[in-house]
Amino acid sequence: MTEQSATTKTDKAIITYCIEHAKTQQSKCAACNKTIPHKSLRVAEIVRRSKKVKKDAAKHTWYHFKCFKVPELLTRVPIEQFRGYPALNEKEKARVQRVIQSGIGSSWADLMEKTKPVKTEEELEADKEEQAKKDKKKKEDEDSMKMDMTEILTGTQQKSTAKSKNKTATAGKKEKKATLKPKTDAKSKVTKKKAEVALQTKQVVLPKKDLLELQKIAKEFSAFK
Ligand SMILES: [Zn+2]
């Protein structure tokens, strides 16, 4: 490999990059200003005034690997010319490749940030499934409520007193759900309103006139199913 191709000349300065596990805990990250822990992966931008200056004597600007933003140079030279890269383990090499492939200005920290929405999407998917289950349950509840209503409105609730008592406990909840149901037209709105009244007063013995009216409504209600 030629070193020439891995360098950028600005005036006479030569810039190269190296990556390694921190040999000490004395370097600070130039991006976030925090200490780079001993043995953690760090990247240096090495600036030499000229080729005469030895690399080890050159100015090193250190970055946490995650904070380092891909410079243009690393996107156009073979990755093996990223000094220290060949000595990394396979997992680290893969990370370095990934961040460089993401283009100039990319950083591992950014990549990690960008992958968050993927997790969120998975979560959203899980939420959707959860919601679908809830909707199914809700529909079942509504269907069961419609049946209850029919029972109530046709005066058959006395046949299932135990069941009716049980339903009373959840009546408030179901009633709330009933109000959330989509309104198709004015007629169903009225029907529903009356049905709600029926629900609230199901333990009350209704006057015959009302009972007949409700029976009529019950038929209409059944027709809506
Ligand atoms: Zn940093």
CATH value at residue 76? 3.30.1740.10
In angstroms, what is the span from residue 54 Cα to ligand 1's centroid?
Answer: 26
Residue 186, in any domain of the structure: yes
Q: Looking at 53, 87, 106, which one is the last position of a domain?
A: 106
In angstroms, what is the span from residue 63 Cα to ligand 1's centroid?
Answer: 5
Residue 192, in any domain of the structure: yes
Q: In terms of domains, do 94 and 150 share one? A: no
The pair of three-digit structure tokens given for residue 204, joined into one six-digit string:
């009350």
E strands present in the chain:
8-10, 13-21, 41-48, 59-64
Mind listing the pLDDT tens digit for each residue in 117-147? 656 677 778 888 888 888 888 888 888 877 7
Q: What are phi and psi of 58, to 5 degrees?
A: -75, 165
At residue 23, the pLDDT reads 94
Q: Looking at 52, 87, 106, which one is the last position of a domain?
A: 106
In angstroms, what is the span from residue 68 Cα to ligand 1's centroid?
Answer: 7
Q: Looking at 85, 106, 127, which one is the last position of a domain?
A: 106
Q: In terms of domains, do 79 and 23 share one? A: yes
Residue 115, in any domain of the structure: no
Q: In terms of domains, do 84 and 25 share one? A: yes
At residue 198, the pLDDT reads 57
SS3 track for 133-185: HHHHHHHHHHHHHHHHHHHHHCCCHHHHHHHHHHHHHHHHHHHHHHHHCCCCC
In angstroms, what is the span from residue 5 Cα to ligand 1's centroid?
Answer: 28
When divided into structural domains, the chain yields a total of: 2
Q: In terms of domains, do 159 and 214 share one? A: yes
Q: In terms of domains, do 147 and 76 share one? A: no
Residue 187, in any domain of the structure: yes
Residue 220, in any domain of the structure: yes
In angstroms, what is the span from residue 35 Cα to ligand 1's centroid?
Answer: 8
User: Which regions in the chain score pLDDT beneath 50?
Assistant: 1-10, 160-179, 181, 183
Residue 14, in any domain of the structure: yes
In angstroms, what is the span from residue 109 Cα to ligand 1's centroid?
Answer: 9
In angstroms, what is the span from residue 11 Cα to ligand 1's centroid?
Answer: 28
At residue 141, the pLDDT reads 84
Q: In terms of domains, do 83 and 157 share one? A: no
Q: In terms of domains, do 82 and 157 share one? A: no
Residue 156, in any domain of the structure: yes
What value does the CA radius of gyration of the chain take, rounded to a whole number of Å? 36
Q: In terms of domains, do 162 and 93 share one? A: no
Quote the domain boundaries for residue 14. 4-106
At residue 91, the pLDDT reads 96
Under 8 Å CB-to-CB from 2, ≥6 apart: which residues? none
At residue 201, the pLDDT reads 53
Q: In terms of domains, do 167 and 216 share one? A: yes
At residue 160, the pLDDT reads 46
Q: In terms of domains, do 215 and 161 share one? A: yes
Q: What are phi and psi of 21, to 5 degrees?
A: -90, 130
Q: In terms of domains, do 81 and 164 share one? A: no
Q: In terms of domains, do 91 and 12 share one? A: yes
CB 107 within 8 A of CB 63: no
In angstroms, what is the span from residue 92 Cα to ligand 1's centroid?
Answer: 17
Question: 45 pairs with which residues across the strands?
Answer: 17, 61
Residue 198, in any domain of the structure: yes
